Structure formats: structure tokens, C-alpha cells
Structure 1
Amino acid sequence: MKSFFSSKISLAILVIVILLFGLRWYATSQNTESTQTIKLGVITGATGQYAFVGENYTKGVNLALEQWHKDHPDQTVTLTIEDDSFDPKKGLNAFRKLVNLDRVDALINMTSPTIDAMYEETRRINLPIAQGGEQGIEPADDNVFQLLPGNMVTEIALGKYVKEHGFKNVAVFVANNATFLRFLKGFEQGYGQPFKQFIINPDERDYRTFVAKTLAIHPDAVVFLVIPEQGANLVKLIREQSAEPLQYVFDANVQTGFPDYQRILRDTNALNGSIAINIRQANNPQFIEAYKKKYGQEPGIGASWSYDSFELLMRTYAKDPKTWINNMKNTSFESAGGKVEFDEVGVRKPDFFIGTIQNGVLPKQ
């Protein structure tokens, strides 16, 4: 009888020990999950083309990190920021450093050249990416989610607008990289008629031949699907060589790159009457207030996109990359730049209109 009770007591003690050990293990694992460091890599174009956007991008993501830590004091998130200078080689090197040395869990990327350069490698490792600019390839149902509202819809709409407004002798300047050539296809789809195209390499600095050939065909509209610095220099040269004003047509790149037009042209009244795409910026008042408090200025173009990129990754975070990516596909929330929601290929839905530049200012509605 004594042996029987001793056995039962020993068994009970063993069960209690196992239970206590299990509870301790569970508590420890939960604590580890909540306190583990989440490492985010950031690649911006802080120098080179769109440098002013890169500066805003850095400010926006740093503000997002600061506010996240304030609201989630038990969660540690780090940012490692690299600059690609709008150069695909530098971007690819930055990506490999972030992944192989810094061991980041996800990536916030700003520029189109870099996403094109690193895309296949990101797919192989299934890295969650909050992307800024458009890809040079057609977006797919994958690991890349574009926070800049989709441009292809706007390019098609711009082509239709030019056709519907009776422009028949059209010249198109287009930057010679995959993203802008893709934009050209969108414009071509919308316009649906022949036009004269002039493809300009991104590093081109002498535009005289392009302008001379354009003026020789006496176009009734000149369309700019180019890097803003190129566009501004082309306009400047056209104004110097043409006695008659031309009808300019700009895609949404004039919006992201308007500071370049201001810097190079000095007086943007030179653009009055130009047709331009405008993607509405629905900046949240609380975001604007927080940004002004931290930096002493209004948020510039790109700041809300990087803020939203950070929010996207953190709101949908999961330790397993596949789960994390799936969460990103199905999310919908309001953030600094308005509603964050994606179409079937991971591109943020655009809200835009087409107007004319007046008094040197981009169209407003």
C-alpha cells in the first residue's frame, strides 16, 4: 500500500514539474517573440537623380520608427539605411550587404533601378519588400509591394487624354531604362496612334540633337516620359531654339521631380498651359503635424511613402516570411499617405487627375 501511494506521489510531482517547465518555456518563448529585434533594411536614393526624394524618404522612415517605438515600447526595431545614388550597381551592392552582413528581415526600397537589379535575388530568398518606384518589369503576385500609387494606369490615361484632345503630330521623349520604356507602352496603349519617339540614355547630357529632330517635325504636342532633370533641360533647350511655344505633356514624374524643374528653369511659369498628371497626396494631418514637429518643415514628396512602407511591414509582421508576405497582400489600413491597399499584383491603387500647370504651379483640383 505504501509503495502504491509513493508511486502516485512521485507521478504527481513529475506531472507538476513537467507542467511548470512547460509554462516557463511558453512564457519565455512569448517574451522572446515580443522582445526580439526586427531588422529592417532601407535603400534610398539620397544622392544622384531624385536626391531630394531620397532625403524625404529617409526623414519619413525615421519618423515612422520613432513613433512605432513610442507606441510599442516592448518591441525593438532597427533600421540600416543605405544609398544607391539611383545606380543599379550600387543598389545591388547595398542589397547584398543588408542581406548577407546586416541580416535584415525585410527591406524598404525607394528606386526603380535597384528593385530591377535585385529582384530575382529577393525572390529566391522570399524577402518581404515595401517598394517605392515602379518596377521595370510587369508587377506580379510576389514579395514586392509598391507604395507609390501605380503609374501604368496613369500612363494609359494620359495617352487617351492626348488622343481625345486632338493631338495628332506627337513627339515623345522617353528615358532609356526598363521602367520608363514600360511607361511608354502604357502611353502607347492609351494613345493608339503613331507618334515619333526619342529615346534618351539616363546619363545623356547633350540634348541638342534630340531637340533639333523634334522641332523639325513641328509637333503639336511634346510628351515627357523622362527623369525630371532631363525633362527640365529639354524644356530649357526647346525654349531657346523655338520661336513658338510648344504644348508640353508630362506624366506623374513631373510631380515627383518638380524641384528639378524649379532649379533648372528658375521660373516654372515657362510650363504654364502644360498638361500634367497629378497623383493626389492624401497626407494625414497627424502625420503632417508630427513631421513638422520633428523636422520643422512640411513633408516633401516621398516622405509619406517611406512612412507607409514602415507601417506596412510592421503592421503585417510575422516571423515566417511567407506568412508575412501573405499578410501584406491582404492588409488595408489608413496611414500617412492615405489608404494602404494593393491590387492583385501588389501595386497601390492610384487616385489621380489630369490638369494644366498654371502660374508655375502643378495642377490642383
Structure 2
Amino acid sequence: MLQLGDEVSLYSVVFVVALLATRSPVWSGVLTSCLYLFLAMFRFPQLPAGRVRQVLHPAGSGKVSVVAHRGGGHDAPENTIAAIRLASKNGASGVELDLEFSADGVPILMHDDSVDRTTNGSGPLSQLRFAELGKLDAAAKHRLRDKFTGEKIPTLEQAVEECIKLQLSIYFDVKGHPDEAAAALSALYNKHPVLYNSSIVCSFEPKVVYKMRQTDPQVVTALTHRPWSLSRFGDGSPRYSSPWKHHWLTLMDIVLDWAHHHVLWKLCGISAFLVQKNFVSHDYVQYWSQRGVEVVAWTVNNGVEKQHYQELLKISYITDSLVEDCDPHY
């Protein structure tokens, strides 16, 4: 059952909001009780701290992990075997890899839902079979394309096997397709049990994380979050020129942020919270630590920031480059 000590403010807020809406203490109490019962019945428990530490701190307890974003997309073509190998060579503790699917349902590494930005091809993944994807050059748009010419889009399994061989931890970033992703990842965990102690499934979408826990409750999971993501771009500029739409989505951002910090994390039973670096502070790390959740910052791309997270905050971080400063990534 839930411990009420940390939840008094949550249920008090729900009760007050319900009271203002219904003007009935009885209905407010019923609604608040229903929320409590829902969380108590359908939440997933957090996994043992010892196993979580194995995943998040493969070098040992208390050691800060440096995770290569998309395999280290500044140093090599993102989400490729070449990136994974170079990240290992450059000292990464692990790699963050993006899971997508070809038109014929093959799990692959790709961040976008199309191949236009990173390859010499064009078109949405939903219209490209894996045989067609296999003909593309995954290094075509990279700044070091001459060095990595001909690099292929890997399958999820190829990438996982390479990471296991190199003893890298894996952050599986799932963009969507909750049912398909959970099935594909579950099959990999069954085939490679070492993943239970060396990988974590992350997503911006709580339904993806919840579905993963439903499919296999023993998988370590994390929610990924950037405050104000609905109303603003990563650099803080508004997404929409319409004042009405901007203000409405700002309100939705507040609700979403509240839900992440008070309901969704507990419902999913997450072990880590991946948050955009600009919102991380000592107090924020403490907030999650008191709830048994570790904070991982993304995307940390210059030396001063890396030193700050490593030496002052002492938390793991995700970076685009293991070897040099590079542009901010939101």
C-alpha cells in the first residue's frame, strides 16, 4: 500500500480541487478516495535499489555514469554500431539508443520517424521496409560522413549484442508504439537476461513505461521529462504564435509536470527520472532521492557542465560527445 506521509499534499490538493468543482464534501472525498485506491491497486512497485544501482552505476556505487546520447551523435553517426563502438573506446559507461520500427515491424535504431535527417534516403519509416532501410547510408548527413561512409541502420538486436560484448549499459529510449516496443524488448530480455542488470527502458510517454512494466515487471524503467515541452521549444521560445493556444498549452504543461512529479512516477514504479539539464539542481536531486528515484540529466555538452554534474551534483548525465564540447541539445 502507499505510504500516506509523502502523499498528504497530493490528496489534499485533489480534495480541494474536487471541492471547488463539485461543492460537495462527500463527492470530493469519494473522488480523492478513488484516486488513492486506483494508485494502490494499479501501481507497480519500485525495483530493489541494489539492482537499480547495477544498471545506473555499472562502474560501482556512487560512481557517476557518462552515457553517450544516441551512441554519441557528435562523435559518430547517431544510433549506429560505429557510434556504440566509439563511445566504448572513448570511455562511456553506457549508451542511449532510440527504438523505432520499420514498415514491416523490424525493431531498429532511429530517433526520427523518417530517414531524411540522418541518411541519404527519404520517407517515413512507416512506408519503408527493413530491406529498403538496409540500403541507406546512416552516415550521409553526419559531419564526419567521410570517415563513416556506408554505415548501416542497425537492428535493435544487433545494437544490443554489440553493447553486451562491450559491457556497456543501455538506455532504451522508446518513442512510441507501446505494445510493439514492450514485446520487442521483452523478447530481448528473455534472450539476453544480462539486460536486467545492464539496461533501463525510458520514454517521454508514461503509457510506454507502464506497458513495459505490465509486460515484464522486472525491467528497470525511467520517465523522461522536459518542463514546458508542450508550449515551448527547448531553447524557451514559444511553439505557437496564437496567444490562446500558447496559454492553453502552458496550463497543460503545468498539469503534466504536476502529474509526473506526484502521480505518474508512482504509478509506473520508476527507478530513475531523466530530465533536461537546465532544470536540475541540488534540491531537485534531493526531491527525487527521498522517493528512491535517481536523477539523470540530459543533454550535457560542455566541459563546465560536465564538471558541475560530476563533481558537485554527483549525478549521471547523457552527452552527445565524450571527447569535446559541442552545441547545446534540447
**TM-score normalised by L of structure 2:** 0.27
Between structures 1 and 2, the one with greater helix share:
1
**TM-score normalised by L of structure 1:** 0.26
Task: Report which of the two structures shows the higher radius of gyration computed on alpha carbons.
Answer: 1
